[in-house]
Structure 1
Amino acid sequence: MLKQRSSIPHKVLPFIILILFSGAIWILHDSLQEFHYHHILQQLKSISSSRIAMAIGLTILSYLIMTGYDHLAIRYIKNPIGIAKVTLASFISYAFSNTIGLSLLTSGSIRYRLYSSWGLSAERIARLVAFTVLTFWLGIGTIGSIIFIVEPLSIPILKHFPIHSTRPLGYVLATLVGSYLLIVLFRKTPFHFRNWELRLPSIAVAWTQLLIGSLDWMLAGCVLYVLLPEHIGISFFQFLGIFLLAQVVALISHVPGGLGVFESMILLSAPSIPADMLLGSMLIYRGIYYLLPLTLAALLLGGGELLQKKTQVSKAILFAGQFGRTAIPHLLAATTLTSGAVLLFSGVTPVAPGRLNGIKEVLSLPVIELSHFLSSLIGIGLLLLARGLQRRLDAAYVLAAILLGTSSLLALLKGGNYEESILLGLMLIALLPCRSHFYRKASLFNETFTPGWNVAVLLILGSSIWLGIFTYKHVDYSSQLWWQFTLHGGAPRFLRATVGSVILLLALAIARLLRTTPEDPTEPGPDELIRAKQIISQSPATEANLALLGDKTLLFNEQQNSFIMYGVEGNSWIAMGDPIGPPEEANSLAWSYRELVERHGGQTIFYEVGTHMLPVYLDMGLTLFKLGEQASVPLINFSLEGSERKGLRYIYRRLNKEGSSFEVYPADRTSEILPELRRISDIWLKEKSVREKGFSLGFFDESYLLNFPVAIVRQEEEIVAFANLWMGASQEELSIDLMRYSPEAPRSIMDYLFTNLMLWGKEQGYQSFNLGMAPLSGLENRSFAPLWNRIGSIIFSKGEHFYNFEGLREYKQKYKPVWSPRYLACPGGLALPRILTNVTSLISGGIKGVFIK
């Protein structure tokens, strides 16, 4: 399973990124002291259209080569998938991760979501991702070792040390690449680590890895090289060495897209090229190599939503529409974040004088000023709404669509920026068809912002402020500047837009800080239980009745027609089953629960869930672990006839002859037999030497039992066994919860009780009888199975000293049930053992109950 990062590094890393980014900005500012903004503009204009076209062509070729990573990985794991699917998954993941980096979602998680939809197991996806990462770094190692040895350059930060050349680094890279080839060539057996097996590729595949990785890096460097001015005095291979060194430093920094870090390393490593020329070329490079593919990926998925029902659409677009459910919200969040950044950067840079002169006859100065100011405020709004889109909020979708449409118009009104208007329009076109992906009806102010998101917003805002300071560093600032309103007053507009953006961001931050502190979980009161009972009466799932135990906190939705029942143990917030209520409310309520847990700093866990909500749990970033299988007996054709029911028929007839009888007491008469049921329950607990459980299991509580009919078995007029009945709405499902019997009960009393209940349920018109779950049932112990499944399978077959796993499955199997899987959705990795301990403790009533019956 994909591992979750530990909490401390996860919280600290964004602030390290912020520090590194601040250092990169300082280097850029120092390197550009002698230059002005118009120098960079002149360099941008000097880049010919033929060179831009060549850069676009090389970018297309580079991304095609990048898809080779996934095609080669699919060949390595020996799991054939269609070419269109693999190409789509690879392009989306790289278009996303190249631009945004690790701030929203890694390329590995996008691959996990898409490839798991196509049937790949988690372990195979992990191997595929590891293979692509290895190919990626082998490419750096191969081409870097050649360049750094043949054309060594000086490492800027080591220039005052005796060893400051990249040649030693080249030898190290060559040694690593050579060692990899030797291991592949001579080692014929896989590596083993505990229960994991790492199979090495063939030598032909290894050489192909080196070739694809090297071509990818060479083409990426070519894109920037063709955008540089002519006669710079640096050969392509010399520049490729600088490019590789800057990219490696940017990757290590983890700054999203290497923004600032990459540029500063290029400036430090290539002092012979004027800084304004370098920065101008790198801005075009960013737009072509990063922003253009990201926009194309967004349009591809948005177009897929519109066209997926048309038979003549290409397979790639169909795949995008079919499997975009998990990727679209993240990708649109990335494009919205990018749109906000574009608006902020545009707001702090001057508009071309020619365009302003062209619109002054049409628009008044107040319209231009107001359009400019509002564009920057919308930029801040889009940065924040991007988080809501990632979390699938319907309000975020509506507001983002409105703001994108408005900002596209304002881009024309503030200075005729048609390029910006077109870009924002394309982002809007990509967003509009995807309404169905944003289903959460929750408040925007209730959404939590992770440290990574906070840092991302600060990075973009800080970059825009620095860009404005750099652009207008020749201006003499004074108090009068704030109130100057002129057609070409770029500096005053920059100041007003920046202050407005900062004030808006601070106001929203204060509003979030002043929101009501969430209440601590408490047991439900009588009114909540009555409300829950009304909802349960409409639910076909009988497990919903566990809420009436009163030992779990209930979270209701705003409409008060759905709820989630949960308990807290340690840092684990454990929801029992899927949300209860109308299916159309379930997704939004599940997200509200996750939001509640995050506000308390806990870990979100869904225990014993079915299959219909699994995509939502995956969208939340949770990992799925199979707990076992639930047995459900179809009652429509259930009978005791035939050879398969021979054993049940014998028990049924024998106990009837011995004086046993079956009866169902309705709920309004349960109180009549409660004292007798209490006596049987107490004896049963004492005989079994066990204590009452809870949470996912019922316990003897008179107020709880009064809610249900009770099935009893009498032996010569004396009650010897009982079970309370759970009855699903529309008679879809019948089940039992608390099952107890006295020592005087005849042998096979539970078989007799189950058989009578199924016959009674069939007579009443129920469609199925729920026999409950067989823990760890259905897990496979195969070489490619996830580690959890392999461990669970061993415990299932070898753990009879702890729990009769196989015996329980065999007991239920004699009723010929239909088996359906049940899962645990929770953070994965090293958190899993603690989560399982907390779940067990919650069910057992504390740690003591785990070890004492």
Structure 2
Amino acid sequence: MTSKLSKTPCAPAQKVPIALMRHARFDIDTNDSSAHGTAAPRQTARPKLTAGKSVTRPPKPDGLQKLLVKQAVPLMMTLIIVWLLWGKVSHLDAKAILSTVSTVTPLQWGLAMLATTGSFWAVGQYDNVLHAQLGTGISRKSAKRSGIAAIGLSQFLGFGALTGALIRWRMLPEMTLWQATRLSAAVALSFLAGWAVVAACAVLILQPDIPWMKSLAIFAISLVGGMAILSIYPPAPLVRLPWPALRTMGTVVMLAAIDTVLAGVTLYILLPPQIDIGIGQLIAAYLFALGAGLVGATPGGIGPFEAMLASLLPSVPLEPLLGAVVAYRIAYYGVPAFIAACIVLIGPRKCNLSTKAQLTKTAQSPYLTPQLERQLFAATRAETNLLRTRDFSLLTDKRGHHVALAAPIGQSLVMMSDPLIAKTGLTEARLALSQTARARFRMPAIYKCGARMAANARIAGWTIIPTAEEAWLVPAQFTLEGAERRQLRRVLRKAQEAGISVQEGGRNLPLADMDRVAKDWKALRGGERGFSMGTYTRDYISCQRVFLAYKDTRLVAFISLHETRNEMTLDLMRHSKEAPDGTIQMLIIAAIHAATAYGCPRLSLAAVPWSGVDQNPILRALRQRFLCKSGHTGLKRFKAAFGPNWETLYFAAPSRIALAVAGMDILRRVTAPPRTVRDNPMKAHRFATHATLRLFGKTSRKSNP
């Protein structure tokens, strides 16, 4: 069952069938099958993994019934407000109100429509921001078009939760009704948050004589400031939550300011000449009246809006003011509603999925498609197999080609290492990263890239710093001789004297025993790491090359390696408290000998943090914090015992600020990885709900199944 270290094969490097180099469910054919995107499945199936097996559940059923129930509250609110205001409304002079509308000049109508156009430009951007934040994969143009149509019509009809969801569902057939409902709720909440900040700023600037308003404004500003701090550097228990990036939050507030201020300007333009009021005073009153309309949840805010506006402007004659409000509703509600209705009736005329550079999430299982398996096996760096952890997504260029691994974390979109394939243009990969980061309102960064990628980024004006040192060796040239490996020989003798034997794991891994060892290691070390470090799961370890260490017949340690045609890279090292000194080293020696027999040209012992001195004080502080958490000194001593070559890896970002922020994001993700990585429930799919798009021709890109 087991074999001593001395019996491990140490044959000269030679070519062997590629199937021997993989632990996948199928052989990788390097012939023309890669061009056809197919691969023959193996006859020997992988053992079923029951414990820890994740199950993909279908999306929740549509919430049409829930939406209808929710609209009962706004309807009742409308009836109550009409009843409360009926006494005052019945005494108004309707003719005076209508005459005010008739006195609006063509110039006023034109300027009002111009302001309305600017406001609705911002309205469309809400959906664009939320689609990017939620990662739906809808193109920016389609997101803006559907957002303008949904808000323009739903604010006129009322019952925004229902009408907004149905209109977005109509305009974006790649989304289910449940997804459209969640998107509509996210847009509404983001607008409310943005409006609260804008209204709070107006209160603090204008200082109205209402004491409770100032206290409420200070609370709102403090709340938003706290959310911004949590977005930048959340504590460990909260780092797993999907906080919006700071740029996303700032963009929402800016759009809310543009939207509401231009809407207030629309009302100001339509005021009759007899109303003498400053534009600042009117816009402030409009903001609070808009809030009352939102809370009232009536169609268009009718009732609460007018009541609050009149109470905030007591010196303004009521009939002329209401006449201006009627004209405002025609310009800001009626005309956009008519245009939106036309857009909805026309409906979508092409696929709404984005054809620009973007992130593509893989399936929930670490077992990838045959096409991806072939692509990973041909990759330059074996560390690209981190895609199996699902912490990373595939960075896809505008042609739909996979160019690199990337992950949105914190304020950054971080690309891992070099491009997947050596022939991929370095500039092409960097531009795809920058475009995707800009679309997601994040800052791009490249982590642990080689010298060529770093030089390309430096030419483009990016800031470059060394971040790690990778230890690597040529398996066929490795020997235990030499003074530099004296310490290694000593610990190997200890393991041999303790009766440790090693063997390579086959397809049927002792998963129950490995679970026990991993649990012991986790108790000893305080938990798993994440991001650029692999995390033990049964499915993940089954996709790697594994070496096992036994003491008698009891498993006491194991290691796993990423593997490609060009390289094997050390990933997991797990041992129990029963493992004597030298056990992990013995396993690595066995992996080196196996790599030699398989003809693998390079074996990486993975990287250790770069321990030099940074000139930037912020980066210096971040690096020292990371070195303290990583156990750098002992790790480098451990790898140096093998006498490896050392290659410097680099960290790149467009600016020093982006570099510092990305470093902080990576530090948090490494030390506090997410418990489970789930599929994105908001990802749009072609023909997700109905067959509208089947009427039209081919599109440039299909969504993932």
Using the size of structure 1 for normalisation, the TM-score is 0.35
More helix per residue: 1 or 2? 1
Using the size of structure 2 for normalisation, the TM-score is 0.42
Query: For the pair shown, which has the larger CA radius of gyration, 1 or 2?
Result: 1
